[in-house]
Structure 1
Amino acid sequence: MDFTEYSIEFLTIALAHLFAVASPGPDFAIVMKHSIQYGKRTALITSVGVGSAIFVHVAYALAGIGLIINATPWLYDLLIIIAASFLIYLGIGAVQSQALVSTAAIKESSNPQLSDKKAFLLGFMTNGLNPKATLFFLSLFTVVVSIDTPMIIKGAYGVYLAFATAAWFCGLSLVLSRPYVRDLFSRNAYIFDRVMGLILILLAVNILYSEFGTRFGI
């Protein structure tokens, strides 16, 4: 098997995932909350829980792609439209993002410690039950991953996405658990969020153009 032939597919997935995971949402909120309230260790364990939940999304996304495309081609087009619309929705929401409320007044010492098990489960459930994550991974694998891509390659994509997600949030945990960084990030995170929003919108437009542009002679 020549793994290099799937390099473009992988890079597309990795790039789309980077844009999505970098945009603040429920996962960011729980990691930030735990970083501020409980400190580095709890936030890191929470981040591992968030990353582990990616396996759930990838599993059902991969399990249904082949059946959906083979049985109902028109549904594939519908999913393309839904996927692009969802990315545009996320992008517009991110572009309209406002500055976060300062967290400087929250004191870590006033909060009881969270057990490692509970921290992991909170991270896992936050991502696993996030409907936006569900639709994102379903649309991502439907749009980008070819039906002819071997399952071992698809599985490798899933492993990467899980570890990349955990690594991203672990990195955020290390940064957000620093007291002097918290206020700075809370005041300026919306700027980064707006940039990510514009990128998501452009990605959605590119998806629509790639799938329908040729058909309608655009």
Structure 2
Amino acid sequence: MYWTEFLTVALVHLLAVASPGPDFAIVLRESVSNGRHAGIWTALGVGSGILLHVGYCLLGIGLIVSQSIVLFNLLKWLAAAYLIYIGIRALQARPADPASSELAPLATRSPRAAFVCGFVTNGLNPKATLFFLSLFTLVISPQTPLLVQAGYGLYLALATAVWFCAVALLFSQARVRRGFVRLGHWFDRLMGAVLVGLGIKVAFSELH
């Protein structure tokens, strides 16, 4: 009976995780500068950071916000403003200088250091806090059992880790990274349009 809600959560998460942001930047940097293994460990750290956000939502913060019209509206406008802001920034993306695609020699990076880097980047990102509070108040019903919500959270963490592991595998290849530097601004603009649309939708949402 929760498949519709789960599919909505999965779709919203897919759009969010695929959009450019700090997590993408840190995984890309580690993959390019320190190699494939460092990129993968960073991706696993990012995925684990998701559990931190899910944890405080399950502890009731999301429910408290959803029961207060003042807090809800504050969160709603902050989330909408954030989505529209990063969407506009992405729409303004310009082609990168092809010369910047030259790769530096790989450095040594321990798995632990790479993992912690990814975890801290995601876990301490206030933008991620807004996203997950919005997800657990606007998309996931308060009547959904905590066990089911925890299942959503595990999926979000796993899906995030898998996505960024794929990013690490892809962009640790020099040839692919150079191609992305030349064409990546078109992807940024597409995701920017999607994010602006989501921001407008959030701005007009109501507390039920």
The answer on whether the counterparts of 2:75 and 2:130 sit within 8 Å (CA) in structure 1 is: no
Give the structure with higher Rg (CA). 1
Residue in 1 that maps onto 2:66:
69
1:32 matched to 2:6? The reply is no
1:84 matched to 2:80? The reply is yes
The answer on whether the counterparts of 2:31 and 2:38 sit within 8 Å (CA) in structure 1 is: yes
Using the alignment, how far apart are the partners of 1:101 and 1:23 within structure 2?
21
- Of 2, 6, 16, 2:2 maps to 6
Measure how far apart 1:23 and its partner are: 1.2
The answer on whether the counterparts of 1:46 and 1:122 sit within 8 Å (CA) in structure 2 is: yes
- Of 37, 44, 58, 1:48 maps to 44
The answer on whether the counterparts of 2:90 and 2:188 sit within 8 Å (CA) in structure 1 is: yes
Say what the alpha-carbon RMSD is for the aligned residues: 1.9
Residues 85 and 104 (structure 1 numbering): CA distance in 2 closer, same or farther, change over 3 Å? Answer: closer
1:166 matched to 2:198? The reply is no
Using the alignment, how far apart are the partners of 1:161 and 1:68 within structure 2?
21
Task: Give a deviation string over 1:55-95, Cα, whole Å, max 9, x none.
Answer: 0011113320222333x233223322322222212211211
Task: Give a deviation string over 1:86-115, Cα, whole Å, max 9, x none.
Answer: 221221121112234544323224x3x111
Residue in 2 that maps onto 1:105:
102
Percent identity of the aligned residues? 47
Q: Determine helix, strand or coil for the equivalent of 2:206.
A: helix
Residue in 1 that maps onto 2:111:
116
Query: Where does 1:67-216 land on structure 2 (aligned, <5 Å)?
Result: 67-70=64-67, 72-102=68-98, 103-109=100-106, 111=107, 113-211=108-206
State the one-letter code of the partner of 1:94. A
Long gaps (5+) in structure 1: none
Residues 204 and 104 (structure 1 numbering): CA distance in 2 closer, same or farther, change over 3 Å? Answer: closer
Measure how far apart 1:51 and its partner are: 0.5
Using the alignment, how far apart are the partners of 1:62 and 1:83 within structure 2?
19
- Of 9, 18, 33, 1:22 maps to 18
Long gaps (5+) in structure 2: none
Using the alignment, how far apart are the partners of 1:167 and 1:101 within structure 2?
30
**TM-score, length basis structure 2:** 0.91
Q: Determine helix, strand or coil for the equivalent of 2:115.
A: helix
The answer on whether the counterparts of 1:83 and 1:140 sit within 8 Å (CA) in structure 2 is: no
Task: Give a deviation string over 1:125-179, Cα, whole Å, max 9, x none.
Answer: 1111111111111122111111111001110111011011111100011110111
